[in-house]
Amino acid sequence: MTDKRSLTERLNPEIREFLVEMGAEDVFKCYQCGKCSSVCPWFQVGTYDFPVYRLPLEAALGMLASSEDKDELAAEVDKIYRCVGCDACVDQCPHGVDIPSILRAARRILVDYGSYPEALKDVVGRTRDTGNPMGGPAEKRLDWARRLDVPAYEPGMDYLFFSCCLSSYDPRITDVSAAIATILKAAGVSFGVLESADKCCSEAIRRVGAEDVFLENAAANLGAMADAGVTRVLVNSPHCYTAFKNEYPESNARFEVVHITELLADLIRGGRIQPAAEFPRRVVYHDPCTLGRQNGVYEAPREVLRSVPALQLLEVPEFNRRFSLCCGAGSGALWVEWEKEERIAAIRLNQLAATGADVIAVACPYCQQMLEETAKSTAVEIEVLDVAEILAASLE
Ligand code: SF4
Ligand code: SF4
């Protein structure tokens, strides 16, 4: 049974006020021009009707996440959790409407009521209980660092290296942390890790709507960093980057945040790293939404790749830099399974493979996992490597 009430009957000022209170201040700015719909990744997928331009209006009317009908609410929940937070719509909107924030406000309501996807409930639960979305034991978080004799951070070191959860626990992506450690040692950069068990930055958890878990983990990380006297944090995940740089300051964080590709480009410019070994492959760079569109870091990763001898750098025509298509993993979507024909990652993978590249270079663990898994499941023959892994190979 779907909700048979008329539109007027369904207007809900209380929900609208609640949404605004939760951070959806932009609900009244939309003038329904529709520009956001054409840049949304769901427009590329085409098999799922995601009504992007209607979302601010639905929120302004108090209709988002408001249905009392079970089936209709289930469809609402599915819709609200389709957004991957890529900010393509924000970038294009003439009135500066932040649709992902509107949806995040709706998600906060749904999380409060326990009406959100089961897979995400598990992820939120694991992050609350263990400090990371995979549920890995805290004492194993730094195993990758111990294997490489990376010391504990001490004041006076150049950087605290904060390795994201995927590159701390996922056996494939710990290779990226290892590559980073190897390069930094070769360049004579002093760095250490946070021995007092750092927790997930929780950027994705916040976008799922679990604000309390985000705030708890942010406070724990900020406390541990302050106790250790950290002044500069080096991250490999754009999600940690945006959390620390743009969101933790809401809680008065006091440190500089650097993405690994920015530091690597600097080290190459300064002659502290000299890539020598040839990497004779055709490499296409995939801009992560959170590093590129959301934080303006487009050139540093390309600069690193261009410095590698014999590497041929390719671009996805039109869909690069601020027009890059999301890998489909943001805002919790990494942990949600959609139907095969509805996967944003498959569309992006095909765009990247169509350049004739044999390697996709990434600068984000989420993109790496999403594109690598999708390549395996769709039998597209292309390797997915982090920029740091490619650079480390050229130093050997
Ligand atoms: S582009 Fe902005 S103003 Fe236009 S419909 Fe989308 S949200 Fe509304
Ligand atoms: S953030 Fe990306 S996925 Fe979400 S509505 Fe905007 S364009 Fe679509």
- Residues in the chain predicted with pLDDT less than 70, given as ranges, are 1-11, 197, 249, 251
pLDDT in the model for residue 1: 43
CATH fold of 274-395 reads Rossmann fold (3.40.50)
pLDDT in the model for residue 3: 53
Interior angle at CA 204, CA 201 and CA 206, nearest 5: 85
Kindly state the greatest CA–CA separation across the chain: 69
- In the reported structure, the alpha carbon of residue 286 is separated from the centroid of ligand 2 by a whole-number distance in angstroms of 18
CA distance 22 to 24: 6
CA distance 134 to 150: 23
CB of 95 closer than 6 A to ligand 1? yes
Q: What residue owns the CA closest to ligand 1's atom 4?
A: 33
pLDDT tens, position by position, 234-288: 999 999 999 999 998 676 778 999 999 999 999 999 999 999 999 999 999 999 9
List the 383-386 sheet strands across, edge first: 312-314, 282-285, 359-362, 383-386
- In the reported structure, the alpha carbon of residue 87 is separated from the centroid of ligand 2 by a whole-number distance in angstroms of 6
pLDDT in the model for residue 335: 94
CA distance 68 to 2: 10
E strand residue ranges, the chain = 159-162, 191-192, 232-235, 256-259, 282-285, 312-314, 359-362, 383-386
pLDDT in the model for residue 13: 79
CA distance 222 to 258: 16
CATH classification code of 9-116: 1.10.1060
CA distance 282 to 313: 6
Ligand nearest to the CA of 333: 2
- In the reported structure, the alpha carbon of residue 42 is separated from the centroid of ligand 2 by a whole-number distance in angstroms of 8
pLDDT in the model for residue 329: 96
Give me the sign of the Cα torsion angle 67, 73, 78, 84.
positive
Counting DSSP H helices and E strands in the chain, the numbers are: 20, 8
Domain boundary assignment for the chain: 9-116, 131-266, 274-395
CB of 102 closer than 6 A to ligand 2? no
The preferred substitution site among 99, 323, 347 for testing ligand 2, maximizing ligand atoms within 8 Å of CB, is 99
Interacting residues of 270 by C-beta distance below 8 A, sequence separation 6+: none
Amino acid at 303: E
CA distance 347 to 152: 42
CATH fold of 131-266 reads Rossmann fold (3.40.50)
pLDDT in the model for residue 132: 96
Contact (Cβ atoms closer than 8 angstroms) between residue 356 and residue 333: no
Instruction: Report the atom number in ligand 1 closest to the C-alpha of 96.
Output: 2
pLDDT in the model for residue 10: 60
pLDDT in the model for residue 197: 67
Q: What residue owns the CA closest to ligand 2's atom 6?
A: 89
* Nearest Cα to Cα of residue 194 among 237, 241, 227: 227
Instruction: Report the atom number in ligand 1 closest to the C-alpha of 37.
Output: 6
- In the reported structure, the alpha carbon of residue 83 is separated from the centroid of ligand 2 by a whole-number distance in angstroms of 5
CB of 52 closer than 6 A to ligand 2? yes
Structure tokens at 270: 């300064």
pLDDT in the model for residue 287: 98
First vs last Cα of the chain: how many Å apart? 64
User: Cα separations (Å) of 114 from 101, 123, 209?
Assistant: 19, 13, 11
Domains 131-266 and 274-395 equal at CATH topology level: yes
Q: What residue owns the CA closest to ligand 1's atom 3?
A: 30
- In the reported structure, the alpha carbon of residue 20 is separated from the centroid of ligand 2 by a whole-number distance in angstroms of 19
